[in-house]
Structure 1
């Protein structure tokens, strides 16, 4: 039975991926950073760990337990992450650092610890969860855009460095998918952005905050979390996974547009979104 470690399994894509893989016969090591979510995962029948990806010791402890149990690790899905909305000029350096601590530095820490295992055993699959916002940028998402672009750079480089080995590195560029991402983004927006004193105060209140607070998701091409879970399932069943997987039509369309349009034209298109 092949096994996999998945980070960020409290809700949404991480949880759905864990459920799909477990249902299809994989041994899933699911992790979350809150104790209550770890308990929930255990009640669902998972081998569950408390992992805040910003904590090296928690990552190392989980990997050690996996090796004690199975003597190997077949794959890792670096899914943990969050969004910090707000215009670039409204992002303090401290808030930007917080975005990177989880989305890029945490992901990197899991990756380098897993790579030691994969190099020793001679095989393994690394699946990095990026975004359509690792391909194009949208306004008021600067922190998140930057963290996903960083994932792209590290992943493209690592993929070259494992050529000739039995280690694969894949990135998933996910577009609009139903999850609790927007709800969590609203919390970060309210906590870390000085809305009242921003140049964009009126626009924040009229558009951004209203969209984040909405219980309806009218985003074009939106798909359920299972759309990502199915891609991870495909990767797990593929001998030679592709380096990149697009999820949702929005990712395909915007990825294509970036290849054919000039930067100035793309800016005008994206600024309307």
Structure 2
């Protein structure tokens, strides 16, 4: 039975809601956040919280060692959730900025996953859940860095699923559309830090992106984090967890459209956003 779980990115949104819910359900939850102030808030909420910058591989191992010391050397599940989105047209992204997106959204997840897999192979079971996105199988303009990072996660996860066949270690993808979180706030900060709007051929189009990211109100399809938490619970508790869990109406619609439309027609819809 899956009882202990390590969750990354628990300061707000999906990570926080999932950690709180699983804790109430009796799971042994190890909640992590990058900033110490967020760790303290998590502790005040009654969680076993630890500081983890997932880009710090030494800190990854330190946290895992602490957890294993409390669980007799076992870890039942990992929920890779900590990530951010770097907005901007691809031609306005420096290679360094793109690399930073992949360092957090892909390479750090890979490192933590393979460390946890060593534990799970030794104990003979485990669950790994990857929080991907609708943008892990369709793309939208001005989100190229994030699109690419989630496509990479989907490819790595699909491959791992094949390689883990018969091991009693299950890996699942969650593909949310818009979810209430601080995602847009962080994305706006990354946009302001890294994109030279005035000297871009997309300067006019960027204003619409800024307006979208500046809004505290999601679109009519935006769901609360519990929509994702429910899928995490199924992926942890089911004897046959799904390979993919699609969350929000846009995710279901685009999955269907990708199957039935030509690339040209799908592109027209995606360009309109």
**TM tier, shorter chain?**
over 0.9
Residue aligning to 1:135: 137
Report the secondary structure of 1:49's partner residue.
strand
Q: How much has 1:237 moved relative to structure 2?
A: 1.6
What secondary structure is seen at the aligned counterpart in 2 of 1:242? Answer: coil
Q: Deviations for 1:52-100, whole angstroms, at most 9, x for unmatched residues?
A: 1111111111111111111211100000000000001100101101100
Could you tell me whether the CA contact under 8 Å between 1:20 and 1:233 is conserved in 2? no
1:231 counterpart residue number: 231
Give the Cα separation in 1 of the matches to 2:52 and 2:192: 26
1:220, distance to aligned residue in structure 2 (A): 3.5
Structure 1-normalised TM-score? Answer: 0.97
C-alpha separation in 2, matches of 1:134 and 1:270:
14
Provide the rounded CA distance (Å) in 2 between the counterparts of 1:162 and 1:78.
17
Give the secondary structure class of the aligned counterpart of 1:63: helix
- Specify the alignment match of 2:172 in structure 1: 170
Moved over 3 A (4+): none
* Mapping 1:72-87, distance limit 5 Å: 72-87=74-89
Cα offset for 1:36? 0.5
Matched, 1:9 2:6: no
**Take 2:258 and 2:235, find their aligned partners in 1: how far apart are those partners?**
26
Question: What is the CA–CA distance in structure 2 between the aligned matches of 1:214 and 1:2, rounded to whole Å?
Answer: 38
2-side partners of 1:214 and 1:222: how far apart? 13
Q: Does 1:49 align with 2:21?
A: no
> What secondary structure does 1:171 align onto?
strand
Unaligned runs of 5+ residues in structure 1 are: none
1:219-257 CA distance string (max 9 Å, x none): 242110111111111222212211111011110100110
Tell me how far apart the structure 1 counterparts of residues 216 and 222 of structure 2 sit (CA, whole Å): 14
SS at match of 1:42: helix
Corresponding position: 1:147 with 2:149: yes
SS of alignment partner, residue 57 of structure 1: helix
Decide which moves more: 42-51 or 77-86: 42-51
C-alpha separation in 1, matches of 2:89 and 2:7:
31
Contact 1:124 1:168 in 2 (8 A): yes
Residue 59 of structure 1 is matched in structure 2 by: 60
Q: Which residue of 2 aligns with 1:182?
A: 184
Structure 2: stretches of 5+ with no match in the other structure = none
Structure 2 CA distance, aligned partners of 1:63 and 1:115?
Answer: 12
Helix, strand or coil at the partner of 1:234: helix
Q: Assess if the C-alpha contact under 8 Å between 1:131 and 1:174 holds in 2.
A: yes
Confirm or deny: 8 A CA contact 1:130 1:172 kept in the other structure.
yes
Alignment of structure 1 residues 1-273 onto 2, 5 Å: 2-71=3-72, 72-205=74-207, 207-217=208-218, 219-273=219-273
The count of corresponding residues between Structure 1 and Structure 2 is 271
Kindly provide the CA deviation profile for residues 91-150 of structure 1, in whole angstroms up to 9, marking residues without a partner as x: 010110110010000111110100000111110000001000001000000000000000
Q: Which has the higher mean CA deviation after the structures are superposed, 95-104 or 44-53? A: 44-53
Distance 1:238 1:51 in 2: 29
